[in-house]
Amino acid sequence: MALATVSHKPASTHTFWRDERLAFIEARRVEDGRKVCYARHAHDFFSIGAITAGESTYINGTAHERVSAGTVVLINPEDVHACNPIEDQPWSYIMLYVDMHWLAEIQHELGDNPNRVFRPFPTHMTTRPDIYAGLTHLHRILIDEQTDAVDKESAARAFFAQVQSKLGETEPMEIERSNPKLSKAAEYIRANFTRSLKLEEVCAAADLSASYLIRAFKERYGMTPHAYLVNCRVEYSRAQLKRGRAIADVAIEAGFADQAHLQRAFRQFTAATPRQYRG
């Protein structure tokens, strides 16, 4: 189990929690995040968070909201999103990062997912008091060193069963109608992000012109192909840092020029340094 508290700025405190026995879930808490800023980014896991004090902006896809204490945000895997302070106003929040395959099993157990493939949540935020209370309660249980792993997992299962029953998708999902070549471009980037990639190479793999790819890719994924590439590298680095690996080694493996390059990108996409995240 790892619980690390570090100072991001004099006014801000980050706390990351993870436990190797509960590898399907990770928690983060930020107190007074007025200096905590994110670039638009995406993850391959499900995220759910609660604003515990103050206000912030919240972007998810085309939605742009002003959220305040009591709001719970839901971020499906691959959703491009960002939360940022409003001017210099303090805000605090907690986040849980959850493996989508683990969550898909809960959906299956509830009868909402016969194929055991994660079903995205149809809403990106809620102000339901019961969901907010459940999330903050689960966070307290997870970071409590006196609570054993079995009880933590039981609490997590109970909370996400509640989230699924209250906010989950119950109707058949609409089939995506976007150009399949864009998915091919994204797949190519994901398969080759650790090496130097040129735009022409991605265009050739997807059989698309550069002008179309840049415009349509950003419309479909919420970021340019290059930003998507950097996001893939950051997410890979995140997974390796969780294992306690050396930052310099991870930087090179992920395709960054050096540790300083990783540092800049990681902070831009996660609002924390690699060292802060690793704990």
Phi, psi dihedrals of residue 277, rounded to the nearest 5°? -65, -45
Answer yes or no: do 162 and 190 share one domain: no
Task: Specify the amino acid at residue 30.
Answer: V
135, 167, 199 - which closes a domain? 167
What pLDDT was estimated at residue 32? Answer: 84
What is the distance between the alpha carbons of residues 161 and 158, in angstroms, rounded to a whole number? Answer: 5
What pLDDT was estimated at residue 9? Answer: 42
Q: Give this prediction's pTM.
A: 0.80
What CATH number does the domain containing 201 carry?
A: 1.10.10.60
Which residues of the chain register pLDDT less than 70?
Answer: 1-12, 170-178
User: E strands of the chain, at which residues?
Assistant: 2-9, 12-18, 25-31, 46-60, 63-68, 72-75, 81-85, 91-98, 125-126
What pLDDT was estimated at residue 240? Answer: 96
Answer yes or no: do 159 and 96 share one domain: yes
Q: Give CA 110 to chain center in angstroms.
A: 24
What pLDDT was estimated at residue 212? Answer: 87
187, two tokens: 């797949």
Domain span at residue 95? Answer: 2-167
167, 197, 218 - which closes a domain? 167
Q: Which residues contact 225 (CB under 8 A, 6 or more apart)?
A: 185, 189, 199, 202, 213, 214, 217
Answer yes or no: do 104 and 191 share one domain: no
